[in-house]
Amino acid sequence: MIRVGLLGCGNVAEVIASEGTGINITALYDFEHSHAEHLKELTGAPAFKKFEDFLSQDLDIVVEAASVGAVYEHAEDVLMSGKDIVILSVGALADTDFKNRLIKIAEEKNRKIRIPSGAVMGLDNLKIGQISPMSKVLLRTTKSPRSLRIETNEKTLVFSGRADECIKQYPKNINVAVALELATGHDVEVELWADPDIKRNMHEIFAEGDFGDFYLKIKNNPCPQNPATSYLAALSIITLLKNLEKPMIIGT
């Protein structure tokens, strides 16, 4: 059974720990040690204070559900140590030099970097953008002002522009834009809206290309502990882990 280490023991990790029946969590690390201790109570896995001790455990895969900063800090070491990595804070990979470094290490070590679909659907077949021209990819995300940590009484466009710029300003809210960019191989235009009346995290994807055109709207229930994060993101990782060893792969 695949041995999973959790890098980041916050809201997403707690859903994985409590709802990921059959997932073999064997090590925990969070720089806020009390969060790792909390998950230790749920999983029985040891919680490490030092990242090096966490990484020296017999793990097959490390699941990052921490922050863009944590990916910068630890992803290279995870791959260098011969472990696969799931990166949820994929915004870090908007930095092309960093992304290429990680890919090079993964190739050299024969390891995999897995980017989950996270808080959106449709990433699987949008990968056709890697082989067939796309003329436009737009992500329109609408969240509550609280999620975006701003105050407004009316629906407000808080950002319009490139995904790599948006993730710098909203690293906890728009990782999906970078996932979409990596999937399609196409620049993604982003509109980020704050709406005081919205109760769910809404993502709309518009894509056009030789295949035709595509529109998706998803209204995600937020996680109770962190309204910026959609519950779907945690479910997406549980599903990814559960499918790793299956003989049949569904979706492109």
Ligand X SMILES: O=C([O-])CC(=O)C(=O)O
Binding site for NAD(+), by residue number, is: 119, 175
Provide the terminal-to-terminal Cα distance of the chain, rounded to the nearest Å.
25
Question: Is-catalytic flag, 74?
Answer: no
Decide if residue 86 touches ligand NDP (CB under 6 A). Answer: no
HEC string for 85-145: EEECCHHHHHCHHHHHHHHHHHHHHCCCEECCCCCCCCHHHHHHHHCCCEEEEEEEEEECH
Complex with ligand X: residue 29 or 170, whichever CB lies closer: 170
Instruction: Scan residues 179-198 and list those touching ligand NDP (CB under 6 A).
Output: 179
Strand partners, 194: 143, 156
d(CA 77, CA 82) in angstroms, rounded, equals 9
Residue from 183, 233, 238, 241 touching ligand NDP (CB under 6 A): that is 233
Can you tell me which residue has the tokens 């970078």? 178
The CA distances from residue 63 to 42, 51, 154, 216, 251, in Å, are 17, 13, 37, 27, 21
- Mark residues 114-153: x for contact with ligand X by CB under 6 A, - for none: -----x----------------------------------
Residue 201's binding partner, choosing from ligand X, ligand NDP, none, with beta-carbon cut-off 5 to 8 A by kind?
ligand X
- Mark residues 182-211: x for contact with ligand X by CB under 6 A, - for none: -------------------x----------
Complex with ligand X: residue 43 or 175, whichever CB lies closer: 175
Residue from 39, 158, 188, 228 touching ligand X (CB under 6 A): that is 228
Check 35, 74, 186, 203 and give the catalytic one.
203
Which residues have a catalytic role annotated? 203
Sites of contact with ligand NDP (CB under 6 A): 8-13, 30-32, 35, 65-70, 73, 88-90, 118-119, 172, 175-176, 179, 226, 229-230, 233
